[in-house]
Structure 1
Amino acid sequence: MQFKVIQRVLGLLLMVFSLTMLPPILIGKVMGDPDTLPFWKSMALLLAGGGLLWLPMHRQRGELRSRDGFLIVVLFWVVLGVSGSLPFILSDAVEISATDAIFESISGLTTTGATVIVGLDGLPRSVLFYRQELQWLGGMGIIVLAVAILPILGVGGMQLYRAETPGPMKDAKLTPRITETAKLLWYIYLALTVLCTLAFRVAGMDWFDAVSHSFSTVAIGGFSTHDSSIGHFDNSAIESVAIVFMLLAGVNFGLHFMAWRNASVRGYLRDSEFRAYALMMTGLVLVSTTYLFYTETHAELSQAWRHSLFHVVSIATTTGFTTTGYSEWPGFLPVLLLFASFVGGCAASTAGGMKVIRFLLLVKQGIREVNRLIHPNARIRIKINRHPLPEDVVQAVWGFFSVYIAVFVMFMLVLMARGHDQITAFSAVAATLNNLGPGLGEVAGNFASMDDFSKWWLCLAMLMGRLELFTMLVILTPAFWRK
């Protein structure tokens, strides 16, 4: 393990992150916020802390190995989650404890969207913008951005990319060079953000809200500048814009690139994961609309369609925006939507959850086992996009699914041992491990009522969900630390 090189890289990344305090400072000056000093102090502390880590090791060079990459990614997300809380702690406008500040920061960076802050409409614009900025940076992954710039600083990036990129097929690259791949992903991400901002502005938002909500929409984060989320605007056009870009952000960004390069949408239609993603969304919307109309929750079919469409897309993609209290919907619908967040969006998207491709492989594996009972001697291969998959990929998916369920149960049991009821414990873990945000029961609106231990426990769940479990779990194994 190259600890000196790891310390140098961590110092560099912290110094780069300190620059993210500049946009909130600028917003504060433009919007007339009375005090931007917390952001100046935070930037100085992060710059100094990063410098202290980097300076003693600035001459250290060495090619990063896979183990180094895993450790850097885990350390960076943990350190960054804590460091990102500094403006909340130092600001007089946000009266929350250090635990709440760290929870809010980690929730933002992991694009979870679970909040402990009440009274968003009365906060300074600089603080509101900073919350949205955290989600935008965490959406595509700060490490992927770092991969694009670290080679300039003399640090290789392939190991960081493999440790950070979600999905079962991490070695797939859009371009031969990993740096170019990282840059390309960010160009697509930036283009979607700009288009989303313009669409929100045309639909009726002011520029501040349009930029802020485009950050959390494209990042599939769910933070809003208002306590009532998208419901604050009560505007069907704004909801339509959010639906479109949540759906786009939940799609594999590689498909967006292929569509742009080939000037054709055929790539979407030919992709097995995208077809499963579209089918899942369509089925959920039809079921929700029918049930809302049948139970007379909404007397008009158009209203049932409007609310079900928005919330299905928001919850299933793990964004977490709301327009009404979906947790109060009748029957099985709230739990159905919560289960949809376990699937989440596509691999190589900004969505959370286990990813559609994994569930598709699980279904195909289940069908294969049934067919083997009928034809014991048949050799049946599992195919994605008409290409057979190696058996080790299928086995890895089963392993991931097993670990995911085991981790979920462990987190839920601990919350129940802390005195939380079953609905609250189940939904709180689902909302954080899937990087969703809103839950049910006590956490339907926010997580402010949770005790400090539970918040720290859920912070770990958010980090594990963002890093897809194995990146975090691998550093806990004795084999990882052996030479």
Structure 2
Amino acid sequence: GSSGSYTLYESEARSEKIHPSIVTTVREIWKIFIGLTLGSIALFLLVGMPPWDAINHGMTGIATGGFSVHAESIGHYDSPLIEYATVPVMVAGSIAFPVHYLIVKGEVRNFYTDLQTRWVFIWFAAGSIALTAILYANGQYATFEETFRVSLFQFVSATSNTGFGTATIGEGTEQVWSAGATLLACLGMLTGAAAGSTVSGLKLIRV
């Protein structure tokens, strides 16, 4: 029921309700979730992803579940455009639903003043830059753009706990990334993003 859904939502360390009514709060969360999912599917179609793939990746991207119809995940397409397009989908899934509600209601100013949301973006940016620096110093990839793209994608994927992949970090007992790069990605997985979103991890509000 709706009370059970709200209990799960509240257990994610975000106690404020979108609306005084629990039923309305749950209903609004569902509307936002469906809207974001449809928007993600449309974005994937726009950048050339096949319809069936776009539907699946749109649903699991916003849910930060990371399921893919390909063993190589997003790396299957070998498309920088699709990789860049996947990042905002994972970011959207990392933001708390009450904050999405503010955006829907046109209260963009409150979006910028939400402390947790601000830290989500700071952590995404800082982690991606640090990972880019490590991988570039190691000469891991052919160009700086590829290094940045892989770093941005993998760190956002790890921190949002989505689990989409475009690069091999390790293969069996063989370490592809350096220990420092792997540790940074694991740190992102541990912290997670915003409470009240679909991500797992500790949540930044608790760190």
Shorter-normalised TM range: over 0.9
- Letter matched to residue 161 of structure 1: Y
1:89-104 mapped onto 2 (5 Å cutoff): none
The equivalent of 1:338 in structure 2 is 186
The equivalent of 2:173 in structure 1 is none
TM superposition shift of 1:162 = 2.2
Asked if the contact 1:216–1:222 (Cα under 8 Å) also holds between the matched residues in 2, the reply is yes
- Letter matched to residue 338 of structure 1: C
TM superposition shift of 1:160 = 5.3
1:414-455 Cα distance to aligned partner (Å, 9 max, x none): xxxxxxxxxxxxxxxxxxxxxxxxxxxxxxxxxxxxxxxxxx
TM superposition shift of 1:269 = 1.4
Asked if the contact 2:13–2:196 (Cα under 8 Å) also holds between the matched residues in 1, the reply is no
**TM-score, normalised to structure 1's length?**
0.41
The equivalent of 2:63 in structure 1 is 219
Higher relative contact order (CA 8 A, sep 6+): 2
SS at match of 1:180: helix
- The CA distance in 1 between the partners of 2:109 and 2:141, in whole Å, is 37
- Letter matched to residue 35 of structure 2: A
Asked if the contact 1:226–1:232 (Cα under 8 Å) also holds between the matched residues in 2, the reply is yes
- The CA distance in 2 between the partners of 1:309 and 1:336, in whole Å, is 12
Question: Residues 299 and 207 of structure 1: is their aligned pair in 2 closer, same or farther, counting only changes over 3 Å?
Answer: closer
**1:281 corresponds to 2:129:** no
1:182-223 Cα distance to aligned partner (Å, 9 max, x none): 000000000000010011011111111110110110100111
- The CA distance in 1 between the partners of 2:115 and 2:128, in whole Å, is 20
TM superposition shift of 1:264 = 4.1
Asked if the contact 1:253–1:349 (Cα under 8 Å) also holds between the matched residues in 2, the reply is yes
**1:258 corresponds to 2:102:** yes
Give me the identity figure in percent.
Answer: 29
- The CA distance in 1 between the partners of 2:201 and 2:5, in whole Å, is 21
Asked if the contact 1:318–1:352 (Cα under 8 Å) also holds between the matched residues in 2, the reply is yes
**1:207 corresponds to 2:55:** no
* Unpaired runs of at least 5, structure 1: 1-145, 148-156, 360-483
The equivalent of 1:161 in structure 2 is 6
**1:177 corresponds to 2:25:** no
TM superposition shift of 1:284 = 0.6
TM superposition shift of 1:166 = 3.6
1:394-473 mapped onto 2 (5 Å cutoff): none
- Letter matched to residue 310 of structure 1: F
- The CA distance in 2 between the partners of 1:204 and 1:236, in whole Å, is 11
- The CA distance in 2 between the partners of 1:341 and 1:266, in whole Å, is 29
**1:319 corresponds to 2:162:** yes
Question: Residues 240 and 282 of structure 1: is their aligned pair in 2 closer, same or farther, counting only changes over 3 Å?
Answer: same
The equivalent of 1:242 in structure 2 is 86
- The CA distance in 2 between the partners of 1:217 and 1:169, in whole Å, is 21
Please tell me the root mean square deviation across aligned C-alpha atoms, in Å.
1.4
- Letter matched to residue 167 of structure 1: E
1:27-74 Cα distance to aligned partner (Å, 9 max, x none): xxxxxxxxxxxxxxxxxxxxxxxxxxxxxxxxxxxxxxxxxxxxxxxx
**1:302 corresponds to 2:145:** yes
Asked if the contact 2:14–2:196 (Cα under 8 Å) also holds between the matched residues in 1, the reply is no
- The CA distance in 1 between the partners of 2:54 and 2:177, in whole Å, is 29
TM superposition shift of 1:164 = 4.7
- The CA distance in 2 between the partners of 1:225 and 1:273, in whole Å, is 33
Structure 1 residue ranges, 4+ long, deviating more than 4 angstroms after superposition: none
Asked if the contact 2:72–2:165 (Cα under 8 Å) also holds between the matched residues in 1, the reply is yes
Asked if the contact 2:5–2:26 (Cα under 8 Å) also holds between the matched residues in 1, the reply is no
1:10-159 mapped onto 2 (5 Å cutoff): 146-147=1-2, 157=3
- The CA distance in 2 between the partners of 1:203 and 1:163, in whole Å, is 34
The equivalent of 1:91 in structure 2 is none
- The CA distance in 2 between the partners of 1:207 and 1:349, in whole Å, is 26
1:288-343 Cα distance to aligned partner (Å, 9 max, x none): 11111111011311111010000010001100000111232123111211121111
The equivalent of 1:192 in structure 2 is 36
- Letter matched to residue 228 of structure 1: E
- Letter matched to residue 132 of structure 2: T
The structure number with the bigger radius of gyration is 1
Asked if the contact 1:318–1:341 (Cα under 8 Å) also holds between the matched residues in 2, the reply is yes
- The CA distance in 2 between the partners of 1:175 and 1:164, in whole Å, is 14
